[in-house]
Structure 1
Amino acid sequence: MTSPKIVLGFESSCDETGVALCTTDGRILGQALYSQIAMHKDYGGVVPELASRDHIRRLIPLMNETFAQAGIGLNDVDAIAVTTGPGLPGALMAGCAFSYSMAMGLNLPVIPVHHLEGHLLSPLLSANPPAFPFTALLVSGGHSQLMGVEGLGKYKLLGETLDDAAGEAFDKTAKMIGLPYPGGPALSKLAESGNPERFKLPRPMLHSGDFMFSFSGLKTAVLTTAMKLAGVSQPAEGMAIDDTDKADLAASFQAAIVETLVKKALAACLHMDHKRLVVAGGVGANRLLREQLVKAATKRGIDVYFPELNLCTDNGAMIAFAGAMQVREHPDLLANRNYSMNTRPRCELATS
């Protein structure tokens, strides 16, 4: 490939609409992102039908903003990348229908991108990118996985959650103790003022001898503790808990999650004999997780890599970048004109 190619990327798997332009030499030319938090706040969570409709409204304005940043036009694009899964069916369909239609109209190839691959590769966009191979901890609202990564497209699943993902447990626990949506960031902020050692909460599967996670039992333990603090016999959202108790409970919960993620991730690194650990996904922005991982990994001679904070949540840059890396690795993809759209609401990333 004699000169860098330009890939236009679209992300619409859940409640963020993202658009970006990336070159095959790893430069982000422009990006725009819209979060639906304000719209879903009144419902206490994402409403799939509303999310799908809003993606349709946002895609063209965000695309225009992205091209304006980059100072180029549609005729300069060499390929279109789009998230095809996993995610909400309607939301994926909105982004894919738009992307495939545009690609067909412009006679451009479409690069399907796995949402988790976008997250996994996003730290490569940082000022200090990791080299292959590495172990990856993918932690977001819907996923908690440990992957062995040997190279682009070479991913081995080491372990994943048996029930709630870490981010999901954050959100559900926050809602349980009466914190506003989105719950995860609100709980993390409240935890900063709490005592993480006050409540002895479980660390499920911490000593299971494998790389699997389980957070539903921890969530249940928090519920039981919250009910005792509120003096009630039946669970209810937003139970009346003293502010100090609430902060201590949030801090204790967060400490349990972080300890589990840190120990499992480092064990996976040692198992794979990797000296690099990549952390990606929304929970990767958690301050305590970052601090504890770096501290523990440094003692073992392991380097830890995080995406830039603005790339931790869902975004178009990670999808455009993943598509661009595929094109760089396999230039023949530019000749592909298969417009058979196939969204995959549930799909695995592992390739080996």
Structure 2
Amino acid sequence: MYLPIPLVTPVMMKLILGIESSCDETGIAIYHTDRGLLAHALHTQIAMHNEYGGVVPELASRDHIHRILPLIRSVSAEAGCRLQELDAIAYTKGPGLSGALLVGASIACSLAYSLGIPAIGVHHLEGHLLSPLLSEPDLDFPFIALLVSGGHTQLMQVSGVGNYLLLGETLDDAAGEAFDKSAKLLGLGYPGGPELANLAVEGRPGHFHLPRPMQHSGDLDFSFSGLKTAVLTLTRQHTLDRQTRADIAHAAQEAIVEVLVTKSLAALKQSGMKRLVVAGGVGANQRLRSQLNEAAQKRGFHVFYPALEFCTDNGAMIAYAAARRLQGQDAVTDFRFNVRPRWDLQEINYSG
């Protein structure tokens, strides 16, 4: 079988196309290392998956096939550049749904091969981790990062790009899963997290109290499966009129947020750092932001978030992560691609 000769490109790259297709959103962006983000677009599959109450992997993959190329054309036109001007193409290599990842990887590597430029596989969580720097370019390392994206809840010590130390993570359900599963128990739509947060505004504080699993465990790990069980118990014990559902939603959100804030403060104290970065979809939660902002004001640390449009999956964070990774390094690709549905973030640590 013919295998392309590996391509080694000295880092003179300026213009990077980013492709994100790890789950149920197709994200495309073009990032310039001097001029910043030139254009980006996102297609969400929420309406399609809502009928099934969650993501259907096969449907997600098929939709990515239909969306990626039209979005690339649209974003290129908005950025005012031709594909022939690109210096590299970045794509999400993992973690995520294998079929969805393969769609993005195959298109990125095929296009890169045709243009004679590198294709760069990016870790999805590194994209989230660095996404606050899109709007906060002067954010200094090191910092503590609270990663709350999809099935991931982790606290990381970030000493630089590609230098990540895991401090604690969830032992079972992640915070996002706790939001979504609690929302489903309350009969809310998909995605459940934003629906639950909206309903929680109508809830009466203190009407229900739910457990805060591992809040005072003495380590930086998380657990949210017990909270989901407690929500299930409440839904079976009470008639679920709108006010009761709102009260339960409020209690669930308070429990999740309180644990996240407590563990984040513990990580800052343990490390002695004064900067906290919050990244991932749950980072858009307004209650979490308000509680962390209040704690930051009282305790004298700084907290940073991605812009709301970059909290969920997006192509901009993939293009940006590739740009930062390529600083001072040669880009190497042989256009043979593989994806990593399961991929530990610490495996990508590198010096540079």
TM-score range, shorter chain: over 0.9
Deviation at 1:4, TM superposition (A): 6.1
**Corresponding residue for 2:103?**
94
Q: 2:180 aligns with which of 161, 168, 171?
A: 171
Query: Map of 1:149-298 to 2, 5 A cutoff?
Result: 149-230=158-239, 241-298=240-297
Evaluate the alpha carbon distance shift between residue 197 and residue 129 of structure 1 in structure 2; reply closer, same or farther with a 3 A threshold. Answer: farther
**Corresponding residue for 1:59?**
68
Q: What do residues 51-92 of structure 1 show as CA deviations (whole Å, max 9, x unaligned)?
A: 000001000110011101100101111011110000000000
Percentage of identical aligned residues: 59
Evaluate the alpha carbon distance shift between residue 107 and residue 3 of structure 1 in structure 2; reply closer, same or farther with a 3 A threshold. Answer: closer
> How far apart, in 2, do the equivalents of 1:2 and 1:201 lie?
52
Q: What do residues 131-179 of structure 1 show as CA deviations (whole Å, max 9, x unaligned)?
A: 1110000002211010000000000011111111111111111011111
**Corresponding residue for 2:324?**
325
Evaluate the alpha carbon distance shift between residue 98 and residue 261 of structure 1 in structure 2; reply closer, same or farther with a 3 A threshold. Answer: same
Q: 1:341 aligns with which of 334, 337, 344?
A: 337
Q: What do residues 112-139 of structure 1 show as CA deviations (whole Å, max 9, x unaligned)?
A: 1000000000000115652111000000
Q: Given that residues 13 and 87 in structure 2 are in contact (C-alpha distance below 8 angstroms), is that contact kept between their aligned partners in structure 1?
A: no
Bigger shift: 320-329 or 115-124? 320-329
TM-score, with normalisation over the residues of structure 2? 0.94
Q: What SS is found at the alignment partner of 2:189? A: coil
Q: What SS is found at the alignment partner of 2:89? A: strand
> How far apart, in 2, do the equivalents of 1:166 and 1:283 lie?
8
Q: Aligned AA for 2:99?
A: G
Unaligned runs of 5+ in 2: 1-9
Deviation at 1:25, TM superposition (A): 3.4
Q: What SS is found at the alignment partner of 1:104? A: helix
Q: Aligned AA for 2:264?
A: A
How many residues of Structure 1 are paired with residues of Structure 2 in the alignment?
A: 339
Evaluate the alpha carbon distance shift between residue 171 and residue 276 of structure 1 in structure 2; reply closer, same or farther with a 3 A threshold. Answer: same
2:144 corresponds to 1:135 = yes
> How far apart, in 2, do the equivalents of 1:337 and 1:300 lie?
46
Q: Aligned AA for 1:247?
A: A
**Cα-Cα RMSD:** 1.4
2:133 corresponds to 1:124 = yes
Q: Given that residues 29 and 41 in structure 2 are in contact (C-alpha distance below 8 angstroms), is that contact kept between their aligned partners in structure 1?
A: yes
Q: Given that residues 120 and 333 in structure 2 are in contact (C-alpha distance below 8 angstroms), is that contact kept between their aligned partners in structure 1?
A: no
Q: 1:44 aligns with which of 30, 53, 69?
A: 53
Unaligned runs of 5+ in 1: 231-240
> How far apart, in 2, do the equivalents of 1:7 and 1:128 lie?
17
> How far apart, in 2, do the equivalents of 1:294 and 1:207 lie?
21
Deviation at 1:272, TM superposition (A): 1.4
